[in-house]
Amino acid sequence: MTEPRLYLDYNATAPLRAEAREAMVAALGEVGNASSIHAEGRAARQRVEAARGAVAGLVGGDAKLVTFTGGGTEANNTVLTHAWSFRGQPHRANFLLVSAVEHVSVLAGGRFDAAKIRSIPVDGNGLVQLDALRRMLEAMAAEEARPLVSVMLANNETGVIQPVAEIARLAHEAGAVVHTDAIQAAGRIPVDIGALGVDVLTLSAHKIGGPQGVGAFVRAHEDLTFGPLLIGGGQEKRLRAGTENVAAIAGFGAAAAAAAVDPASTKVWEGWRDAIRDTISSSGAAATVFGAGAPRLPQTLCIGIDGIPAETLVIALDLEGVSVSSGSACSSGKVAPSHVLAAMGAPPDVAKTAIRLSLGWQTDEASLDLFATRWRRVLRHVAPGHIRAA
Chain centroid to CA 189: 12
Q: Are 379 and 284 in contact (CB under 8 A)?
A: yes
Look up 330 and say whether it is catalytic: yes
Kindly report the backbone phi and psi dihedral angles of residue 148, in degrees, each rounded to the nearest multiple of 5, phi listed first. -105, 125
Q: Please, how many CA atoms are within 13 Å of residue 153, restricted to the half-sphere of its CB?
A: 26
Range list of β-strands (E), 35-161: 66-69, 84-86, 89-90, 95-99, 117-120, 147-150
The span from the CA of 85 to the CA of 226, in Å, is: 6
The span from the CA of 114 to the CA of 95, in Å, is: 10
The span from the CA of 184 to the CA of 188, in Å, is: 7
Identify the active-site residue in 330, 347, 366, 369. 330
The span from the CA of 312 to the CA of 315, in Å, is: 5
The span from the CA of 71 to the CA of 242, in Å, is: 13
Q: What SS3 class is residue 301?
A: strand
Catalytically active residues, by annotation: 330
